[in-house]
Chains A and B, each alone.
Chain A
Amino acid sequence: MEKLLNRGVKSVKVLDIQNVTIRFGGLEAIRDVSFSADEGQLLAIIGPNGAGKTTIFNAMTGVYQPTVGQILFNGKLINGLKPNQLVTMGVARTFQNIRLFSALTVLENVMVGSQCRSREGLWGALAGGKKVAANRVKSIQQCREFIEIVGLTDYLDELATNLPYGKQRLLEIARALATGCELLLLDEPAAGMNAVEREELVALIRRISKELNKTIILIEHDINLVMNISEHIVVLDHGEKIAEGTPGEIRTNQKVIEAYLGSEDPLEQEVV
Chain B
Amino acid sequence: MEHLARFTLNWRNKTATLVLLAILLVIPLLVSNEYYIHVLITLGLFVILSLSLNLVSGYTGQLSIGHAAFYGIGAYVTALLMLKLNVSFLLALPASGLVTAFFGLLLGLPTMRLAGDYLAIVTLGFGEIVRLVLLNWDKVTRGPMGLPGIPAPELGTYIFMSKTPFYYLVLVLALLTVLAMRRIVNSGFGLSLIAVSQDELAAEAVGINTLRCKISSFIISAFFAGVAGGFYAVYISFVSPDSFTFMDSIMVLEMVVLGGLASIPGSIIGAVVLGLVPELLRFMAEYRMLIFGALMVVIVIFKPDGFWSARKRTRNAIMKDLVARNMLDGKTVKPRGEVSESA
Contact partners of B189 in chain A: CB under 8 A: 115, 120-122, 125
Contact partners of A124 in chain B: CB under 8 A: 187
- Please state if B206 and A141 are interface contacts (CB–CB under 8 Å): no
| CB within 8 Å for A115 and B191 given contacts A87-B206, A101-B198 | yes
Q: Which A74-133 residues have a C-beta within 8 angstroms of B? A: 82-84, 87-88, 92-93, 95, 99-105, 107-108, 111-113, 115-116, 118, 120-122, 124-126, 128, 133
| CB within 8 Å for A101 and B199 given contacts A93-B205, A115-B206, A137-B328 | yes
Contact partners of A104 in chain B: CB under 8 A: 191, 194-195, 198, 313
- Please state if B202 and A105 are interface contacts (CB–CB under 8 Å): no
Tell me if B316 is interfacial: C-beta within 8 Å of chain A.
Answer: yes
Q: Name the one of B184, B208, B340 contacting A125, with C-beta atoms under 8 angstroms.
A: B184
- Beyond the given A83-B204, A141-B328, please list 16 additional residue pairs across the A-B interface where CB-CB is below 8 A: A84-B210, A92-B206, A93-B205, A104-B191, A104-B194, A105-B315, A108-B191, A115-B206, A122-B216, A126-B184, A140-B328, A153-B332, A153-B333, A154-B339, A164-B341, A179-B207
Tell me if A157 is interfacial: C-beta within 8 Å of chain B.
Answer: yes
Give the segment of B21-29, B157-165, B265-273, B317-325 that binds chain A. B317-325
A116 vs B343: C-alpha distance when bound (angstroms):
32
Q: Name the one of B184, B195, B315 contacting A112, with C-beta atoms under 8 angstroms.
A: B195
Contact partners of B207 in chain A: CB under 8 A: 84, 87-88, 92, 113, 115-116, 179
Contact partners of B10 in chain A: CB under 8 A: none
Q: Which B294-341 residues have a C-beta within 8 angstroms of A? A: 312-316, 318-319, 322, 325, 327-328, 332-334, 336, 339-341
Q: Name the one of A92, A125, A157, A159 contacting B190, with C-beta atoms under 8 angstroms.
A: A125
What are the interface flags for A232-264 relative to B under an 8 Å C-beta threshold, 1 for contact and 0 otherwise? 000000000000000000000000000000000
Q: Name the one of A95, A136, A144 contacting B205, with C-beta atoms under 8 angstroms.
A: A95
Chain A's interface: helix, strand, loop or mixed, by majority? helix
Tell me if B37 is interfacial: C-beta within 8 Å of chain A.
Answer: no
| CB within 8 Å for A140 and B322 given contacts A125-B187, A164-B343 | yes
- Please state if B316 and A137 are interface contacts (CB–CB under 8 Å): no
Chain B CB within 10 A, most for which of A118, A153, A157? A157
A125 vs B55: C-alpha distance when bound (angstroms):
15
Q: Which B189-221 residues have a C-beta within 8 angstroms of A? A: 189-192, 194-195, 198-199, 201-210, 216, 220
Tell me if A175 is interfacial: C-beta within 8 Å of chain B.
Answer: yes
Q: What's the nearest-Cβ distance from chain B to residue A189, in Å?
A: 15
A115 vs B212: C-alpha distance when bound (angstroms):
14
- Please state if B204 and A82 are interface contacts (CB–CB under 8 Å): yes
Contact partners of B216 in chain A: CB under 8 A: 122
Tell me if B180 is interfacial: C-beta within 8 Å of chain A.
Answer: yes
Tell me if B6 is interfacial: C-beta within 8 Å of chain A.
Answer: no
Contact partners of A141 in chain B: CB under 8 A: 328
A128 vs B206: C-alpha distance when bound (angstroms):
24
A159 vs B114: C-alpha distance when bound (angstroms):
29
Contact partners of B327 in chain A: CB under 8 A: 133-134, 137
Contact partners of B199 in chain A: CB under 8 A: 99-101
Q: What's the nearest-Cβ distance from chain A to residue B83, in Å?
A: 32
- Please state if A115 and B192 are interface contacts (CB–CB under 8 Å): yes
| CB within 8 Å for A101 and B314 given contacts A118-B188, A175-B206 | no
A235 vs B6: C-alpha distance when bound (angstroms):
57
A7 vs B322: C-alpha distance when bound (angstroms):
50
Q: Which A48-92 residues have a C-beta within 8 angstroms of B? A: 61, 63, 82-84, 87-88, 92
- Please state if A112 and B192 are interface contacts (CB–CB under 8 Å): yes
Tell me if B183 is interfacial: C-beta within 8 Å of chain A.
Answer: yes
Q: Name the one of B188, B312, B319 contacting A107, with C-beta atoms under 8 angstroms.
A: B319
Q: Which A199-253 residues have a C-beta within 8 angstroms of B? A: none
Q: What's the nearest-Cβ distance from chain A to residue B260, in Å?
A: 13
Q: Name the one of A116, A134, A155 contacting B339, with C-beta atoms under 8 angstroms.
A: A155
Q: What's the nearest-Cβ distance from chain B to residue A14, in Å?
A: 18
> Could you write out 18 A-B pairs with CB less than 8 Å apart?
A84-B205, A99-B202, A100-B199, A100-B202, A101-B203, A102-B198, A105-B313, A108-B316, A112-B206, A113-B206, A122-B187, A128-B183, A136-B188, A137-B327, A153-B332, A155-B339, A159-B312, A194-B343
Contact partners of A157 in chain B: CB under 8 A: 314-316, 333, 336
Q: Which A144-158 residues have a C-beta within 8 angstroms of B? A: 144, 153-158
A126 vs B190: C-alpha distance when bound (angstroms):
11
| CB within 8 Å for A112 and B191 given contacts A140-B328, A157-B314 | yes
- Please state if B202 and A140 are interface contacts (CB–CB under 8 Å): no
- Please state if B183 and A125 are interface contacts (CB–CB under 8 Å): yes
- Please state if B188 and A120 are interface contacts (CB–CB under 8 Å): yes
Chain A CB within 10 A, most for which of B198, B205, B312? B205
Contact partners of B180 in chain A: CB under 8 A: 126
Q: What's the nearest-Cβ distance from chain B to residue A3, in Å?
A: 33
Write the chain B residue with the least CB distance to A88. B207
Write the chain A residue with the least CB distance to B192. A115
A194 vs B199: C-alpha distance when bound (angstroms):
27
Tell me if A44 is interfacial: C-beta within 8 Å of chain B.
Answer: no
Q: Which A180-205 residues have a C-beta within 8 angstroms of B? A: 194, 196
| CB within 8 Å for A101 and B183 given contacts A116-B206, A157-B315 | no
What are the interface flags for A158-173 relative to B under an 8 Å C-beta threshold, 1 for contact and 0 otherwise? 1100001010000000
- Please state if B313 and A61 are interface contacts (CB–CB under 8 Å): no
